[in-house]
């Protein structure tokens, strides 16, 4: 009996997606509810589970093809599972052999019992670029799948030790190097998520009156507090005490005192919030995503750190949901983790402001008439000038600065 696999409901107002990765191949056995494909939507990757146990028969759409909700993407031969003895039904064996031949033609590999590795097109490209053997790389993605970060980390460590002469070099390594002076180009279709990011950022520039105000803050007090309590904090809460929780609490204070920074424009009305749902930009294999930590103003430092860590882990695994991304009244983006000294972040519509954090750098500053060396960070607050006046933006950023330089303010709500 053949069962069709259809595109599931993708979320509110989302009607289509792009086939980003096949997690199984024709001839592979699947269990009921086991993911067989990953679809890229405007915001997140959505896995499509198998409705029944059986063997993958055929795919009815191509990798990279746009599909609508309810469309048939694959067919499963129900009940044609691989026996516990390891023997396969004749039809399943035939489909597996056909799938293997197709994978060889495509130059890719898939996760199966033959020791091959499941890779998305982006990951496969990085593997080939660095001449790595994917079977020697430990995957940290869902179900052990390789991520781009896994491959880049392996490439960075490549050559750290003597080569193992007993292992054959990967095929990609034998590709002759480009001749000196030769120039190459590669044309790669943008993922649906990257297309959406591009459209939203351009729309923000076109529709909002963007302006950025800067300040710098002395990180001495926060660093001292973190160093004094990080061990007992981690022991009690099971999570490291980072800087993001301090900035989330500091921003919450500022947004309560300056409500316009936590509001947005809806037609000819301004919508104010008496809560803070904070979007936190985190890096995912397919681009930057901004899951929402809800009611962050009512959360403890530990709850904030746990929520952000969970989002970071799920972003890397590709398991964030549409609900995780929806809403948000204010955004924090930490470019400092990548070494940025200063930037002008773009707001995340329909929000009206975003706080940009940057790297901590020791610099000489004047304190009480003396020049001292302090760990300093530049803060950038980009905002929509249609709703937020310069005075309000500067005041909000100043409140954040003061809270970071004197963390006691966050405990006594000043």
Buried/exposed code over 300-313 (b: 16+ C-beta within 10 A; e: otherwise): ebbbbbbbbbebbe
Radius of gyration of the chain (CA): 25
Instruction: Kindly name the residue from 33, 114, 231, 385 that is annotated as catalytic.
Output: 385
Sequential DSSP letters for 259-325: GGGG-EEETTEEE--SS--EEE-EEETTEEE--EETTGGGS-HHHHHHHHHHHHHHHHHT---HHHH
For tokens 């943008």, name the residue. Answer: 190
98: Cα separation from own chain's centroid: 35
Pairing of strands 353-357, 330-334: parallel
For tokens 């031949």, name the residue. Answer: 101
Pairing of strands 66-68, 16-22: antiparallel
Known catalytic membership, residue 28? no
Instruction: Kindly name the residue from 114, 231, 389, 406 that is annotated as catalytic.
Output: 389
Contact 331, 245 (CB under 8 A): no
Residues 6+ apart with CB under 8 A from 231: none
Phi, psi (rounded to 5 degrees) for 283: -85, 130
Known catalytic membership, residue 385? yes
In angstroms, the CA 102 to CA 116 distance is: 14
Sign of CA dihedral 92, 93, 98, 99: positive
Active site residues: 385, 389
């Amino acid at each position: 009996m053949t069962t069709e696999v259809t595109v599931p409901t993708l979320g509110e107002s989302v009607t289509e997606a792009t086939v980003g990765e096949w997690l199984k191949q024709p001839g592979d056995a699947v269990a009921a509810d086991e993911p067989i494909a990953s679809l890229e939507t405007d915001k997140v990757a959505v896995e499509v589970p198998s409705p029944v146990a059986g063997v993958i028969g055929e795919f009815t759409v191509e990798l990279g093809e746009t599909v609508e909700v309810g469309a048939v993407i694959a067919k499963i031969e129900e009940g044609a599972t691989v026996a516990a003895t390891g023997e396969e039904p004749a039809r399943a064996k035939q489909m597996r052999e056909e799938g293997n031949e197709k994978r060889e033609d495509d130059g890719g590999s898939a996760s199966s019992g033959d020791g091959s590795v499941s890779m998305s097109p982006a990951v496969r490209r990085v593997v080939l670029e660095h001449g790595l053997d994917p079977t020697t790389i430990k995957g940290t993605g869902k179900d052990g799948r390789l991520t781009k970060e896994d491959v880049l980390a392996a490439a960075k460590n490549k050559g750290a030790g003597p080569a193992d002469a007993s292992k054959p070099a990967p095929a990609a390594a034998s590709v002759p190097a480009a001749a000196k002076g030769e120039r190459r180009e590669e044309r790669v279709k943008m993922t649906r998520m990257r297309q959406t990011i591009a459209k939203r950022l351009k729309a923000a520039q076109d529709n909002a009156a963007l302006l950025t105000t800067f300040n710098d803050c002395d990180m001495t007090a926060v660093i001292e507090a973190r160093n004094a309590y990080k061990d007992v904090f981690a022991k009690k809460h099971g999570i490291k005490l980072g800087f993001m929780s301090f900035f989330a609490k500091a921003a919450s204070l500022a947004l309560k005192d300056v409500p316009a920074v936590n509001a947005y424009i809806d037609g000819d009305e301004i919508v104010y919030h008496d809560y803070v749902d904070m979007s936190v930009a985190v890096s995912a294999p397919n681009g930057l995503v901004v899951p929402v930590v809800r009611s962050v103003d009512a959360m403890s430092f530990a709850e904030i750190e746990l929520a952000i860590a969970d989002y970071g882990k799920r972003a890397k695994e590709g398991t964030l949901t549409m609900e995780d991304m929806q809403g948000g009244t204010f955004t924090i983006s930490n470019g400092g983790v990548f070494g940025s000294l200063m930037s002008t972040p773009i707001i995340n519509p329909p929000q009206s402001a975003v706080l940009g954090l940057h790297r901590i750098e020791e610099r000489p500053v004047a304190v009480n008439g003396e020049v001292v060396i302090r760990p300093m960070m530049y803060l950038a607050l980009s905002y929509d000038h249609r709703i937020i006046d310069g005075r309000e933006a500067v005041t909000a950023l100043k409140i954040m600065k003061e809270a970071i330089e004197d963390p006691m303010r966050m405990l006594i709500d000043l």
